[in-house]
Chains A and B, each alone.
Chain A
Amino acid sequence: MTVLTVPMAETGTASITRRTRVLRRLRRNPLAVVSFVVLALAGVIALLSPWLAPYSVDQTDFARTFAPPGTAGHLLGTDDLGRDVLSRIMLGARASLQVGLLAVATSLVIGVPLGLAAGYFRAWDAVISRFTDLLLAFPFLIMAVGLAAIRGASLGNAAVAIGIAQIPGVIRVVRSDTLRLKSLDFVAAAVVDGASDLWVLARHILPNATSVILVQATVAIPAAILGEAVLSFLGLGIQPPAPSLGTMLATAQQFAARAPWAAVFPGVVIMGLALAFNVFGDALRDALDPKGDRR
């Protein structure tokens, strides 16, 4: 990527106008607005799902198993045990978002400092690169397999496995942005002024790198949501009877021919969540792009 940097954009007052410009661009992009509204709604529903869900997630009703969607009282139908699909989806989406945020938080907490160090201190670069190579050699599923073997399968371990697998991506973008920022005049000025490395990193580089970190996080969350679904589907993530979109699909697979809705709706929700994040991430990247309306 060729980086055209406008030196003014990094100083105090200019960054305020830059923020307004980014927000204005986002507001003018209908896809950004729609995806943001979807995400906000999903967030509210997920937060309030224990109260909003019409039924408790493990409330069985053996008189009404495999009720099709639209059955009175069960908008999205019921599963093999007569549990309400809508309620389980609401709580499952909550778990998905939890894993997504937890995984991305894990990757940022470890990846951001390492990326800053790799970009700022030349001596650390090679060591951190080897660490990145090492992490990359274990795909997230294999990492999850190893973690499940050592510590057992759980929501936390799934999130950790996904988060660790996302560290290299964070290191890469933070490192390259640090390299770019380091070469700019205002950083050199701070160094000449006698500022310590830590001060320069915390005060000048990190705040200016937030936009790339933000974009990276927006694309990492949908990947983590899909990852959670895969792990739970395979039985390596959230354990039944706790609801998760992945485990719902795993059980629905057994009776998919008889009750396809139980297999269709959770997948639609996973896709919807991931799609909203991906669309918003694209819009955010375009809005932050100093080259403006390239796309």
Chain B
Amino acid sequence: MARYLLTRAWQSALTLLMSTIVVFVGVRALPGDPALALAGEDRSPEALEAIRRHYGLDQPLPVQFAQYVERMAQGDFGVSIRTGTPVSSMLTTALPVTVELSVLAILIAAALGVGAGVLAAVRRGRPAEWLANGLALIGLSVPHFWLGLLAILYLSVATGLFPASGFVPILEDPVDNLHHIVLPAVILGTGLAAIIMRQTRSAMLDSLSSDYVRTAKAKGLRPRAVITRHALRNSLIVVVTVVGLQLGGLISGAVVTEQIFGLPGFGKMTIDAVFQRDYPVIQAVVLLTAAAYIVINFFVDLLYSVIDPRIRVTGDPA
């Protein structure tokens, strides 16, 4: 176990270092002088010189990289070119929105996906399975931002059941907060639910035909008990795996969903930054996403080895 942990930690650290290099190089690949990009409106030679000195752009590249890593580690992502506010404070207001949206979407997707997957496996060959399979295929194929558009059109604008856009912080008014975020979370969860459903179904089918389930049945355990006790434990692994693998898709999806529902999160901040050519913000967003992805997946792997002891032995999540 300790050895597995150490290997994974080392691999994650290496990936983190490499992605930092990629972003560092990417920033230098931006069109034009980086100082010019950082300067925004004030492009006088004195201002550019000051920026070069402040960001160490006059130093050799390895020195620049070391300074860069140091700044990032301290949470100093620079200042937004457009608004003049520090990128770090923009992040502290935007991130909670995205985290709440994503966590809620994962919960909804897990509930829907596991439920439908178990149902499809248990009712094999019956209409319920066909329905669940069909819905999962549609869930995989539907552009969820389009679903969001339709939901706003037919559920918000037409009936007024949900607010069409905007956000209320959870600390201010938890009920109103939920009212604003539940529809976007359902929309974001659809694709994930479809993937979880398909994996759950196939994992369930495997375990329902396995020896240990046959033994449990032979012992005289009631079918319901067999399903809940033996099979559902496996679906926990499925959910954790899918969330780990689909994290990238979830982040991408959150960006679009926020854009459609006007949620002031990480995604909206990202898209606004692209159109305003707000390079410090873009850089922070790209780097932080990579870091978050690496760190979360490290913890997913840990969780995984807690749920499924076999992985600790082989070190290979099959």
Q: Top 10 nearest A-B pairs by Cβ distance?
A: A139-B248, A141-B252, A267-B146, A274-B141, A275-B141, A137-B290, A133-B15, A137-B293, A139-B252, A139-B251
- When each residue 134-153 of chain B gets 1 if its CB lies under 8 Å from chain A and 0 otherwise, what string results? 00011011110110011011
Would you call A66 an interface residue if the criterion is a C-beta within 8 Å of the partner chain's C-beta atoms?
Answer: no
Contact assessment for A256 and B153 in the assembled complex, using a CB-CB cutoff below 8 Å? yes
Q: Which residues of A contact B79 (CB under 8 A)?
A: none
Q: Which residues of A contact B149 (CB under 8 A)?
A: 249, 252-253, 256, 263, 267
Report how far A252 CA is from B260 CA in the complex, Å. Answer: 12
With A134-B15, A230-B256 as given contacts, are A257 and B140 in contact (CB-CB < 8 Å)?
no
> Interface segment, B18-26, B62-70, B167-175, B231-239?
B18-26
CB contact list, B7-22 vs A, under 8 A: 11, 14-15, 18-19, 22
Report how far A103 CA is from B289 CA in the complex, Å. Answer: 22
With A140-B252, A271-B141, A275-B137 as given contacts, are A133 and B26 in contact (CB-CB < 8 Å)?
no
**Chain A residue total in the interface (Cβ 8 A):** 43
Sample of 13 further A-B pairs with CB below 8 A, known A133-B11, A141-B255, A271-B142:
A134-B18, A137-B15, A140-B248, A141-B256, A146-B286, A149-B274, A165-B248, A230-B252, A235-B275, A267-B143, A274-B142, A278-B137, A279-B137
Q: Which residues of A contact B15 (CB under 8 A)?
A: 130, 133-134, 137
Report how far A2 CA is from B278 CA in the complex, Å. Answer: 50
Query: How far, in Å, is B274 (CB) from chain A's closest CB?
Result: 6
Would you call B279 an interface residue if the criterion is a C-beta within 8 Å of the partner chain's C-beta atoms?
Answer: yes
Would you call A226 an interface residue if the criterion is a C-beta within 8 Å of the partner chain's C-beta atoms?
Answer: yes
Query: How far, in Å, is B169 (CB) from chain A's closest CB?
Result: 25
- When each residue 239-275 of chain B gets 1 if its CB lies under 8 Å from chain A and 0 otherwise, what string results? 0000000011101100110011000000000110011
Would you call B197 an interface residue if the criterion is a C-beta within 8 Å of the partner chain's C-beta atoms?
Answer: no
Q: Which residues of A contact B29 (CB under 8 A)?
A: 150
Which residues does B use to contact A, with CB under 8 Å?
11, 14-15, 18-19, 22-23, 26, 29-31, 137-138, 140-143, 145-146, 149-150, 152-153, 157, 247-249, 251-252, 255-256, 259-260, 270-271, 274-275, 277, 279, 282, 285-286, 289-291, 293-294, 297
Q: Which residues of B contact A134 (CB under 8 A)?
A: 15, 18-19, 22
Contact assessment for A234 and B26 in the assembled complex, using a CB-CB cutoff below 8 Å? no
Report how far A257 CA is from B157 CA in the complex, Å. Answer: 8
Contact assessment for B146 and A150 in the assembled complex, using a CB-CB cutoff below 8 Å? no
Which residues does A use to contact B, with CB under 8 Å?
129-130, 133-134, 136-142, 145-146, 148-150, 165, 222, 226, 229-230, 233-236, 249, 252-253, 256-257, 260, 263-264, 266-267, 270-271, 274-275, 277-279, 282
Report how far A172 CA is from B277 CA in the complex, Å. Answer: 35
Total number of residue pairs linking A and B with CB closer than 8 Å = 136
Contact assessment for B285 and A275 in the assembled complex, using a CB-CB cutoff below 8 Å? no
Report how far A149 CA is from B249 CA in the complex, Å. Answer: 20
Contact assessment for B289 and A233 in the assembled complex, using a CB-CB cutoff below 8 Å? no
Interface secondary structure of A, over-half rule: helix
Report how far A176 CA is from B152 CA in the complex, Å. Answer: 43
Q: Which residues of B contact A141 (CB under 8 A)?
A: 251-252, 255-256
Query: How far, in Å, is B16 (CB) from chain A's closest CB?
Result: 8
Report how far A222 CA is from B256 CA in the complex, Å. Answer: 18
Q: Which residues of B contact A148 (CB under 8 A)?
A: 274
Tell which of B143, B255, B259, B279 touches A226, judged by Cβ atoms closer than 8 Å: B143
Contact assessment for B255 and A146 in the assembled complex, using a CB-CB cutoff below 8 Å? no
Query: How far, in Å, is A234 (CB) from chain B's closest CB?
Result: 6
Contact assessment for A260 and B289 in the assembled complex, using a CB-CB cutoff below 8 Å? no
Report how far A141 CA is from B146 CA in the complex, Å. Answer: 17
| From A139, A252, A275, residue with most partner B Cβ within 10 Å | A139
Report how far A142 CA is from B282 CA in the complex, Å. Answer: 9
18 CB-based A-B contacts, threshold 8 Å: A130-B14, A133-B15, A134-B18, A139-B247, A139-B289, A140-B248, A142-B289, A148-B274, A149-B282, A150-B30, A230-B145, A256-B149, A256-B153, A263-B149, A263-B153, A267-B150, A271-B146, A275-B137
With A130-B18, A256-B149 as given contacts, are A139 and B141 in contact (CB-CB < 8 Å)?
no
